[in-house]
Chain A
């Protein structure tokens, strides 16, 4: 039994000095905290990146909510976040349910769906840009299947282009969703299913009563991550359509980049970024509140 004096000394020694966090704090404050605060400040000015600037109050924010281009960017961003999250979860959960197990075949198939997760989003964008192009694989496939009427300029029509971007993102990340659901599924003890089977529950009943509630933590992650990722979408869109045709696939992140670096409207760009940040924070808070509650009440 260690005596009290030694205990106190140990406790004192385990008061790790602050300098352990020095490097991390330094980089974090310099690279994220300071620029974010400065960015929020610049959003209230008319700075164009060079020269001086003056305070203009909420003028930039008013512009964000009246400018057609900005509004459509926000609309596209929200649309992409919702559609990718929903479809990705459907596909990911289906894959997890179908590929849960140790058969040779399943072990062989799983990596096929995980591989795209590791590719650079830009690379995935290039691949699907080819597939959707007028002379690309999709139209060729339709020709082979004798469905020439269905051939489209997939990325060239405002209505279809955004959906195609959504499908591309889902294609890339459904494998990640699958992995997380698989981890969740494997944490469910088989005795629960056995007990339910003995009570006479069918497969579907077991699914709803056992699987779904116990997957709640996985659901939390699988709803939060794709949604936030969807709100920040940049790489794939920049590669596939650069926001076109017109501005019909421009996302908030894309517009922020364009306004700052191609048009030099630095202040306007940061105002848009502030709006995006608030949106992301709200989405995260709402989702965490709802999903965490579900985790605990089941």
Chain B
């Protein structure tokens, strides 16, 4: 193609080779590039951590992808395109949960990391599998009920402290506002009131419900029935808006922030988003009244999502460094502050959560808490069935008994 009348001389070749070598030399000394996949709602906190980590470790660069839910990350693990660092839900149940991935051999064993020696006893079960530690406990969160003080005043009611009061509140409030903002279009929001009600019913009547369930002494049909019927009661008394099924969780947050709704039920991590939508909003936190008897109300708590290293990673040492960076107390505190959650290592002393949350703090201190339910669900099929089932239940597409049966059928599958 190049004219033969200009033959390439040896000198040209040498020069070209030298240029090529110089151009590619930085590749040899250049940064290691790591990939990470994480939850979009934790983007700020994670970006912050990445910036700090890269500053302290020149030579390592992290490219993070954020998604709204972990299912596509799970697919990446299946197809061998897993990120080096990944989000992990402690415990079991979700497709991206620790137990599911560790069982399939997809996570790197991090037991020899420095932070693995100081895991608080309360969270040991959630971050280890077969005695090996795979992820550091980061923060713990709980399911709280946010109430917009102004709207509550307009309705002329106080925050309900038991389930009957909640239903009465819905009756009263639905004329002038949305009693409970609910992002029913998405699946995860169904877990928030759900867990709270199950924790305050099944687990109060039988604190060892999970163990009995695993041993076959009880079932979903026996334990969860009451909570599902309570869900239906909430719907029938008008607690949710007519358009709840088309609202995303984000829409619900906007509603409570902008005074279009009185209450919102969700993990405390969503509070900063509410404040971002309306910096002037006044929010009170209370436990969700999941039982007609106030003394039986329990607060669902659990260690929140954390960071794990993929077993397929080609940059394991660098990835482990990042995880260790996050686990350092100072960095962890910064991370926790951004996501408005409590640092896991503080669980023993249970300080009060920020904001107007005395009722919640009381429950925490009294240890009237129950672990997030999916920690005890032995496979990843139950949670999707529960979430989709609640959506179908609330739109009259299925019955309580049918849903319970599906969950029980799937419980014993591998």
**Residue among A134, A155, A242, A262 with max Cβ neighbours from chain B (10 Å):** A262
Residue B243 CB within 8 A of the other chain = yes
Interface set, chain A 257-278, CB cutoff 8 A to B:
257-258, 260-264
Q: Are A244 and B243 in contact (CB under 8 A)?
A: no
B256 to chain A, nearest CB (A): 15
Known A-B contacts A246-B397, A248-B397; the reply to A157 vs B406 at CB < 8 A is: no
Q: Are A262 and B95 in contact (CB under 8 A)?
A: yes
- In the complex, chain B residues whose CB is within 8 Å of the CB of A153: 185, 243-247
Complex interface: stretch among B71-79, B107-115, B221-229, B293-301: B71-79
**Residue among A50, A260, A263 with max Cβ neighbours from chain B (10 Å):** A263
Q: Closest residue of chain A to B387, judged by CB?
A: A246
- In the complex, chain A residues whose CB is within 8 Å of the CB of B245: 153, 156-157, 245
Residue of A49, A156, A261 touching B185 (CB-CB under 8 A): A156
Counting contact residues on chain B (CB < 8 A from A), the size range is: 20 to 34
Interface set, chain B 124-169, CB cutoff 8 A to A:
none
How far apart are the CA atoms of A260 and B186 in the complex, in Å? 22
- In the complex, chain B residues whose CB is within 8 Å of the CB of A258: 71
Interface set, chain B 364-414, CB cutoff 8 A to A:
380-381, 388-389, 391-392, 395, 397, 406, 414
Residue of B95, B251, B391 touching A245 (CB-CB under 8 A): B391
Residue A101 CB within 8 A of the other chain = no
Residue B187 CB within 8 A of the other chain = yes
Residue B104 CB within 8 A of the other chain = yes
Q: Closest residue of chain A to B389, judged by CB?
A: A246
How far apart are the CA atoms of A242 and B391 in the complex, in Å? 14
Residue A68 CB within 8 A of the other chain = yes
Residue A35 CB within 8 A of the other chain = no
1/0 per residue A31-71: CB within 8 Å of B? 00000000000000000111000000000000000001000
Q: Are B78 and A49 in contact (CB under 8 A)?
A: yes
Interface set, chain A 123-169, CB cutoff 8 A to B:
133-135, 151-158
Residue A113 CB within 8 A of the other chain = no
Residue B184 CB within 8 A of the other chain = yes
- In the complex, chain A residues whose CB is within 8 Å of the CB of B381: 263
Q: Are B397 and A134 in contact (CB under 8 A)?
A: no
Interface set, chain B 337-381, CB cutoff 8 A to A:
380-381
How far apart are the CA atoms of A158 and B245 in the complex, in Å? 9
- In the complex, chain A residues whose CB is within 8 Å of the CB of B406: 68
Known A-B contacts A68-B406, A263-B380; the reply to A158 vs B392 at CB < 8 A is: yes
- In the complex, chain A residues whose CB is within 8 Å of the CB of B380: 263
Known A-B contacts A261-B74, A262-B75; the reply to A244 vs B95 at CB < 8 A is: no
A173 to chain B, nearest CB (A): 26
Residue A247 CB within 8 A of the other chain = yes
Interface set, chain B 236-254, CB cutoff 8 A to A:
243-248, 251
Interface set, chain A 209-266, CB cutoff 8 A to B:
242, 244-248, 257-258, 260-264
- In the complex, chain A residues whose CB is within 8 Å of the CB of B186: 244
A: number of interface residues (CB 8 Å): 28
Interface set, chain B 77-96, CB cutoff 8 A to A:
78-79, 95
Q: Are B247 and A246 in contact (CB under 8 A)?
A: no
How far apart are the CA atoms of A133 and B185 in the complex, in Å? 10
Known A-B contacts A157-B395, A246-B392; the reply to A264 vs B71 at CB < 8 A is: no
How far apart are the CA atoms of A153 and B240 in the complex, in Å? 14
B102 to chain A, nearest CB (A): 14
- In the complex, chain A residues whose CB is within 8 Å of the CB of B78: 49, 260-262, 264
Q: Are A134 and B251 in contact (CB under 8 A)?
A: yes
How far apart are the CA atoms of A46 and B317 in the complex, in Å? 36
B292 to chain A, nearest CB (A): 29
How far apart are the CA atoms of A152 and B105 in the complex, in Å? 45
Q: Closest residue of chain B to A160, judged by CB?
A: B246
Q: Closest residue of chain A to B71, judged by CB?
A: A262
Q: Are A244 and B397 in contact (CB under 8 A)?
A: no
- In the complex, chain A residues whose CB is within 8 Å of the CB of B75: 257, 261-262
Q: Are A245 and B79 in contact (CB under 8 A)?
A: no
Q: Are A158 and B243 in contact (CB under 8 A)?
A: no
How far apart are the CA atoms of A148 and B246 in the complex, in Å? 15
How far apart are the CA atoms of A154 and B185 in the complex, in Å? 10
Q: B residues engaging A (CB < 8 A)?
A: 71, 74-75, 78-79, 95, 104-105, 184-187, 243-248, 251, 380-381, 388-389, 391-392, 395, 397, 406, 414
9 A-B pairs whose Cβ atoms sit less than 8 Å apart in the complex: A134-B251, A152-B246, A153-B247, A155-B185, A156-B243, A246-B389, A246-B395, A261-B74, A262-B74
Known contacts A156-B244, A247-B388; 14 additional CB pairs below 8 A are A153-B243, A153-B246, A153-B247, A155-B185, A157-B395, A158-B392, A242-B71, A244-B185, A245-B185, A246-B391, A261-B78, A263-B95, A263-B381, A264-B78
Shortest 4 CB-CB distances between A and B: which pairs? Answer: A153-B246, A156-B246, A261-B75, A156-B245
Q: A residues engaging B (CB < 8 A)?
A: 48-50, 68, 133-135, 151-158, 242, 244-248, 257-258, 260-264
